[in-house]
């Protein structure tokens, strides 16, 4: 067990069955925190680990209130990601769901709310290179996810008060063992021969290893209190190791035994293909995500790396797992799961 100011407290983790939420749950249990989880599905392993599980939607205000009642703090990680759903779904889960969490915290006099946001809430067009938290919200968003996450972040920070201390964390591109989004998507496309870099692949991007992202949430929670330095603020969370997008991508797929990708596509062509894909999926009401959208094309072809000095200073965040060590652990996980692509021997 790990000693912590949170030991003996009761915490709710929304989305606690997910990649980040699950890692936070694990770290809380290691600190002898009484953990509640609100998640959509049935996860017997959470109950077996000692969690109290509330099953249902974050948009169910009554359920959220029930899960929050009696808690000392709440980690709100539940969100709708991706690009496939209509706006109403992102608004219902990302924004209205967050309002439900805020209201429940206020109703039940919870003292601390740690909200998981995203750096995309401040993405505009063009590169983001070494930016800090002074970067403003843009006037327009090209996708529903960043728009609704921005709405939710602003609502959460506005709710900060002498009774409820709120902090928003913005982890960027979380990866590692257990990832069910970024890594598997890259590996799947690489295996199918459909992975290309938009542009020359030299644009710098920040990522964050899963344990670092989760620990940032724990550290922020330990420091958070009404009137404390982190209260009412947002923080970028990364590994502090920006790399060319081609390098980090090839490291992640290489952990699964795949050869490096070198294929590229012009940003202008990718943007035009994204436009066509969006129109086709809309006109023919196709299910799932388009292979690419204009927003994704823009994200993949520009730099996105951040200054994390504020998180280091205000709540002692220090990425303990380097990218090199994280890749080693990811490789070991692929081997253990027998999902490592072994090259053919001739």
Tokens of 211: 């344990």
Instruction: Report the alpha-carbon distance of residue 39 to residue 43 in Å, rounded.
Output: 8
Ranges of each domain in the chain: 10-176+207-239+305-320
Residues in the chain: 346
Record the pTM.
0.95
pLDDT digits (tens, 9 = 90+) for 229-263: 999 999 999 999 999 999 999 999 999 999 999 99
Residue-level pLDDT, tens digit, the chain, 346 residues: 677 899 999 999 999 999 999 999 999 999 999 999 999 988 899 999 999 999 999 999 999 999 999 999 999 999 999 887 899 999 999 999 999 999 999 999 999 999 999 999 999 888 999 999 999 999 999 899 999 999 999 999 999 999 999 999 999 999 999 998 899 999 999 999 999 999 999 999 999 999 999 999 999 999 999 999 999 999 999 999 999 999 999 999 999 999 999 999 999 999 899 889 988 988 888 888 888 888 788 888 999 999 999 999 999 999 999 999 999 999 999 999 887 776 544 3
| CATH for the 10-176+207-239+305-320 domain, from 2.40.50.140, 3.40.50.300, 3.40.980.10, 3.40.50.720 | 3.40.50.720
Which are the catalytic amino acids? 145
How many CB atoms lie under 10 A from the CB of residue 88?
10
Which DSSP helix (H) or strand (E) runs through 236? strand 233-237
């Amino acid at each position: 067990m790990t000693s912590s100011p949170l030991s003996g407290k009761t915490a709710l983790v929304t989305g606690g069955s997910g990649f980040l939420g699950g890692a936070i749950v694990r770290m809380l249990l290691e600190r002898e925190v009484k953990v509640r989880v609100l998640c959509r599905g049935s996860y017997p392993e959470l109950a077996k680990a000692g969690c109290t599980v509330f099953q249902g939607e974050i948009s169910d205000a009554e359920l959220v209130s029930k899960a929050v009642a009696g808690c000392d703090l709440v980690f709100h990680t539940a969100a709708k990601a991706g690009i496939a759903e209509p706006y109403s779904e992102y608004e219902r889960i990302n924004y209205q769901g967050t309002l439900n969490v805020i209201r429940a915290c206020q109703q039940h006099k919870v003292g601390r709310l740690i909200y998981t946001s995203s750096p995309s809430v401040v993405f505009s067009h063009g590169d983001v290179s070494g930016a800090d938290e002074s970067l403003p919200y843009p006037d327009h968003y090209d996708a529903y996810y960043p728009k609704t996450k921005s709405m939710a972040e602003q609502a959460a920070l506005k709710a900060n008060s002498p009774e409820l201390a709120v902090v928003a964390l913005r982890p960027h591109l979380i990866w590692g063992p257990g990832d069910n989004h970024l890594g598997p998507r890259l590996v799947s496309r690489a295996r199918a021969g459909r992975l290309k870099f938009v542009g020359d692949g030299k644009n710098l991007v920040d990522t964050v290893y899963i344990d670092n992202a989760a620990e940032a949430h724990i550290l922020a929670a330990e420091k958070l209190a009404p009137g404390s330095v982190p209260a009412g603020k947002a923080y970028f969370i990364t590994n502090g190791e920006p790399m060319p997008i081609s390098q980090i991508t090839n490291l992640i797929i290489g952990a699964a035994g795949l050869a490096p990708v070198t294929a590229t596509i012009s940003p202008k062509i990718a943007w035009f293909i994204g436009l066509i894909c969006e129109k086709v999926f809309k006109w023919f009401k196709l299910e799932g995500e388009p292979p690419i959208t204009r927003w994704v094309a823009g994200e993949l072809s520009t730099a996105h790396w951040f200054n994390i000095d504020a998180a280091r200073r205000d709540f002692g965040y220090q990425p303990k797992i380097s990218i090199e060590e994280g890749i080693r652990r990811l490789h070991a996980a692929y081997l253990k799961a027998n999902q490592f692509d072994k090259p053919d021997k001739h």
